[in-house]
């Protein structure tokens, strides 16, 4: 079927219950979602990936992309000093130019949350913590809830949890659902981003099912990837997730954000994502409250391309060829 007439179909499935007492009923709901037209999704994402934007809109798009970045370091070798340096950059991406907007958030491992909270205090930059035995998600629910609660107690504004991909792929949807519900409860006021790790989900249908599962269980955001698995934030997968949040709002009346993460390296990559958002959900999602770019290095290229827009001088590679 054509995945771009999903809204009407999703309204039909929304008449099913959304409080699931058994794995069979949840499975029935998820497998009742319309199948993704893989060829159509790939073609549409590819087409939108070549879409031009006006020269006059480039600078605005770069600033919007900067304001949507979750500036991330998730390395075993992370130190308090590295996190402080990243936070300084998050608050003032270009210290010589106060016109450059701050990023949306920094994203760190739980043990570095307190350091980040202290570093960004009063700046408006949020602190996101990965949790739930990131990146594999292989641990007990008790450990995952404790991991989450400790991150929140340390001051995390946002929690990026991973789903149990093994349980999902084995068809144990209720286990994944109940785990998300429990982590959401442990978050308190912190926003919950649910990482699907789409590179391990095998099919686009599974990406759509996991998106709906995460939204039905209470996720505030759905996020593509940990950044540790390839492929990560591809355009087709992000498209499918954008369709899911669009249709979930239409059928369930709750708005959920989207965060592609992993492998977004250039300004061109970032702008393609913004075009995808504009053409799929409309500009209601073109806001850091509803769309984020999880990335460790794209900010550098956004700053270089911004400088090029402003001064015409920049000796680095010209990634920004959209026109
Ligand atoms: O959530 C963000 C990712 O971990 C960062 O991935 P990246 O290093 O490919 O930008």
* Cβ–ligand 1 contact at 295 (below 6 Å): yes
Can you read off the two tokens belonging to residue 270? 């970032």
For the chain, the domain total comes to 1
The arithmetic mean of pLDDT across residues 257-286, rounded, is: 96
Distance 225 CA to ligand 1 centre (A): 8
> Is the model's pLDDT at 24 over the cut of 70?
yes
CA angle 86, 91, 95 (to 5 degrees): 90
* Cβ–ligand 1 contact at 263 (below 6 Å): yes
Can you read off the two tokens belonging to residue 274? 């913004």
Distance 107 CA to ligand 1 centre (A): 9
* Cβ–ligand 1 contact at 257 (below 6 Å): no
Q: Which residues pair with 193 in a beta bridge?
A: 160, 221
What whole-number distance in Å separates Cα of residue 284 and Cα of residue 42? 24
Residue 321 lies inside a defined structural domain of this protein: no
What whole-number distance in Å separates Cα of residue 95 and Cα of residue 91? 9
Residues 239-264 pLDDT 10s? 999 999 999 999 999 999 999 999 99
**Contact yes or no for 153/7 (Cβ under 8 A):** no
Report the residue among 75, 161, 194, 263 best suited for mutation to probe ligand 1: largest number of ligand atoms under 8 A from its CB.
Answer: 263
- Return the pLDDT at 311: 81
Burial of 136 from C-beta contacts in 10 A (0-12 / 13-18 / 19+): middle
- Return the pLDDT at 252: 94
Residue 319 lies inside a defined structural domain of this protein: no
Residue 232 lies inside a defined structural domain of this protein: yes
Residue 139 lies inside a defined structural domain of this protein: yes
What whole-number distance in Å separates Cα of residue 10 and Cα of residue 194? 21
pLDDT category at 302 given cuts 50, 70, 90 is very high
Q: In what order do the strands lie in the sheet with 191-195?
A: 257-259, 221-223, 191-195, 158-162, 126-131, 105-108, 69-72, 293-295
Residues 118-172 pLDDT 10s? 999 999 999 999 999 999 999 999 999 999 999 999 999 999 999 999 999 999 9
Token match 């911004």: residue? 306
**Contact yes or no for 140/105 (Cβ under 8 A):** no
- ipTM of this predicted structure: 0.97
Can you read off the two tokens belonging to residue 317? 């590679």
pLDDT category at 317 given cuts 50, 70, 90 is very low
CATH number, domain with residue 139: 3.20.20.70
Secondary structure of residue 105 in the 3-state scheme: strand
Report the residue among 294, 300, 301 best suited for mutation to probe ligand 1: largest number of ligand atoms under 8 A from its CB.
Answer: 294
Q: What is the pTM of this model?
A: 0.91
Residue 31 lies inside a defined structural domain of this protein: yes
Residue 322 lies inside a defined structural domain of this protein: no
* Cβ–ligand 1 contact at 6 (below 6 Å): no
* Cβ–ligand 1 contact at 260 (below 6 Å): no
Residue 316 lies inside a defined structural domain of this protein: no
Task: Look up the domain containing 7 and give its range.
Answer: 3-310
Q: What residues are annotated to the active site?
A: 160, 223, 259
Q: Which residues pair with 257 in a beta bridge?
A: 221
Residues 197-210 pLDDT 10s? 999 999 999 999 99
The arithmetic mean of pLDDT across residues 69-82, rounded, is: 98
- Return the pLDDT at 228: 97
Cis peptide before 231 (omega within 30 of 0): yes
* Cβ–ligand 1 contact at 297 (below 6 Å): yes
Residue 318 lies inside a defined structural domain of this protein: no
């Amino acid at each position: 079927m054509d995945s771009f007439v999903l809204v009407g179909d999703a309204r039909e499935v929304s008449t099913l219950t959304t409080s699931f007492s058994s794995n069979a009923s949840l499975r029935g709901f998820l497998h009742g979602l319309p199948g993704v037209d893989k060829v159509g999704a790939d073609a549409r994402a590819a087409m939108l990936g070549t879409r031009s934007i006006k020269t006059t809109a480039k600078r605005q798009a770069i600033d919007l992309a900067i304001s949507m970045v979750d500036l991330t370091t998730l390395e075993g070798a992370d130190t308090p000093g590295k996190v402080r340096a990243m936070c300084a950059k998050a608050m003032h991406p270009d210290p010589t130019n106060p016109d450059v907007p701050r990023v949306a958030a920094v994203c760190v491992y739980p043990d570095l949350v307190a350091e980040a909270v202290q570093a960004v205090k009063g700046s408006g930059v949020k602190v996101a913590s990965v949790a739930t035995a990131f990146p594999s998600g292989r641990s007990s629910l008790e450990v995952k809830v404790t991991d989450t609660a400790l991150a929140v107690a340390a001051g995390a504004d946002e929690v990026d949890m991973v789903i149990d991909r093994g349980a999902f792929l084995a068809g144990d949807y209720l286990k994944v659902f109940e785990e998300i519900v429990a982590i959401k409860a442990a978050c308190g006021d912190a926003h919950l981003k649910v990482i699907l790790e789409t590179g391990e989900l095998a099919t686009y249908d599974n990406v759509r099912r996991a998106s709906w599962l995460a939204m039905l269980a209470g996720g505030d955001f759905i996020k593509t990837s940990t950044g540790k698995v390839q492929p990560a934030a591809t355009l087709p997968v992000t498209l499918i997730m954008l369709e899911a949040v669009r249709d979930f709002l239409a059928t369930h009346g709750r708005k959920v954000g989207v965060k592609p993460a992993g492998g977004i390296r250039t300004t061109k990559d970032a702008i393609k994502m913004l075009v995808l958002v504009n053409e799929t959900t409309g500009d209601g999602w073109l806001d850091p409250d509803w769309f984020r770019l999880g990335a460790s290095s794209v900010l550098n290229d956004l700053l270089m391309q911004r400088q090029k827009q402003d001064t015409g001088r920049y000796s680095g590679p010209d990634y920004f060829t959209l026109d």
